[in-house]
């Protein structure tokens, strides 16, 4: 276990990867910038990132193909070939969603993500070659390439788990933030000018107050995507846009207009009582 920790730690500190990662991430960011593309690849409609869901498809197909290759015998060969082809096809949208998520990372997470992607790319190449050899009737070579590909994909999967569970990539940053359940004073009404916004504490969380067209709205200030500070973002057309990665939320209810966020922003009820602005968590 210590050896694995040392290897992963070495990848996290491998700064030579930055020279490759920066321009590639910039190119990916440009490619996914249109709102429909960003929302689709981010899993905005799902309520959580799309990439983890899709990874089950190629990994599952290729794992079952390996089982059939080892113990299935001749009768299982058509099914194994179909599973290999299914995994190759499923790997394409899986890679696209992964690149989308990776483009928002930096530092250690970006470096680990690069090696994660490289391992999975090697796995895809090996499985593509495996399928080609199977089609030519060279099954022994095809099976060997498939097993090698499975090894590469499992290594990549391990690094993917490290990205999510150790480095917190694409983990909802508001999951454990709970605002007050009862009406709580946060600001004098005079302190929030028409068209203005303020960052205020509300119990254990920070809340972005906005006065727009006479109405006062309140959202958790920490962006659910990667923790960006919404008070530093752009407020326009009834929405706030995170300054870090461009996630856009409706002020009225925290719903997502544009990804990469896939979890809505926690919204709070707001009112004016005796000259004080009060907020509380929505029931």
Whether 283 has a pLDDT exceeding 90, the answer reads no
pLDDT of residue 90: 98
Residues 9 and 128 in one domain: yes
Residues 132 and 196 in one domain: no
The structural domain count of the chain equals 2
Within-domain flag for 173: no
Within-domain flag for 250: yes
- For the residues 265-276, what does the mean pLDDT come to? 96
Residues 51 and 161 in one domain: yes
Residues 34 and 157 in one domain: yes
Domain membership of residue 238 as a residue range: 184-281
- For the residues 131-155, what does the mean pLDDT come to? 97
Within-domain flag for 177: no
Residue 236 sits in a domain whose CATH number is 2.102.10.10
Residues 52 and 124 in one domain: yes
Whether 214 has a pLDDT exceeding 90, the answer reads no
Residues 155 and 261 in one domain: no
| Cα angle: 152, vertex 153, 155; to 5 degrees | 65
Within-domain flag for 51: yes
Whether 1 has a pLDDT exceeding 80, the answer reads no
Residues 13 and 134 in one domain: yes
Within-domain flag for 254: yes
Within-domain flag for 24: yes
Rounded CA separation 83/42 (Å):
26
Whether 126 has a pLDDT exceeding 80, the answer reads yes
Residues 57 and 162 in one domain: yes
- pTM, to two decimals: 0.90
Residues 61 and 13 in one domain: yes
Residue ending a domain, choose from 100, 131, 166: 166
| Cα angle: 104, vertex 217, 43; to 5 degrees | 30
Rounded CA separation 268/283 (Å):
9
Residues 228 and 135 in one domain: no
- 66-91 pLDDT, tens digit each: 999 999 999 999 999 999 999 999 99
CA 171 to each of CA 15, 164, 175, 185, 233: distance values in angstroms, whole numbers, following the listed order: 24, 7, 8, 30, 21
Residues 38 and 132 in one domain: yes
Within-domain flag for 172: no
Residues 21 and 148 in one domain: yes
Within-domain flag for 175: no
Q: Where are the alpha helices (DSSP H) in the chain?
A: 2-12, 18-31, 35-42, 51-71, 77-102, 107-135, 139-161
Whether 213 has a pLDDT exceeding 90, the answer reads no
Phi, psi of 126 (to 5 degrees): -65, -40
Torsion of CA 157, 158, 163, 165, to 10 degrees: 110
């Amino acid at each position: 276990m210590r050896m694995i920790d040392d290897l992963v730690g070495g990848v996290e500190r491998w700064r030579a990867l930055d020279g490759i990662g920066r321009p590639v991430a910039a190119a990916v960011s440009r490619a996914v910038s249109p709102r429909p593309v960003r929302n689709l690849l981010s899993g905005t409609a799902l309520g959580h990132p799309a990439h983890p869901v899709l990874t089950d498809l190629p990994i599952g197909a290729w794992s079952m193909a390996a089982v059939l290759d080892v113990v299935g015998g001749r009768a299982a060969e058509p099914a194994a070939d179909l599973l290999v082809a299914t995994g190759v096809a499923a790997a394409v949208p899986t890679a696209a969603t992964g690149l989308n998520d990776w483009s928002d990372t930096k530092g250690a997470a970006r470096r680990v993500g690069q090696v994660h992607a490289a391992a999975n790319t090697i796995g895809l190449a090996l499985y593509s070659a495996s399928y080609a050899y199977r089609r030519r009737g060279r099954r022994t070579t095809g099976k060997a390439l498939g097993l090698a590909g499975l090894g590469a994909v499992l290594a990549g999967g391990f690094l993917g788990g490290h990205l999510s569970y150790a480095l917190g990539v694409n983990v909802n940053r508001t999951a454990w933030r709970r605002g007050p359940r009862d009406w709580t004073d946060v600001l004098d009404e005079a302190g929030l000018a028409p068209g203005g916004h303020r960052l205020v504490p509300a119990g254990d969380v920070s809340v972005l107050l906005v006065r727009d067209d006479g109405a006062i709205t309140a959202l958790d200030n920490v962006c659910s995507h990667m923790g960006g500070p919404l008070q530093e973002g752009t407020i326009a057309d009834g929405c706030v846009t995170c300054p870090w990665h461009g996630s856009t939320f409706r002020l009225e209810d925290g719903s997502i207009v544009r990804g990469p966020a896939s979890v809505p922003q926690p919204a709070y009820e707001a009112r004016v009582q005796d000259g004080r602005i009060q907020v509380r968590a929505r029931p």
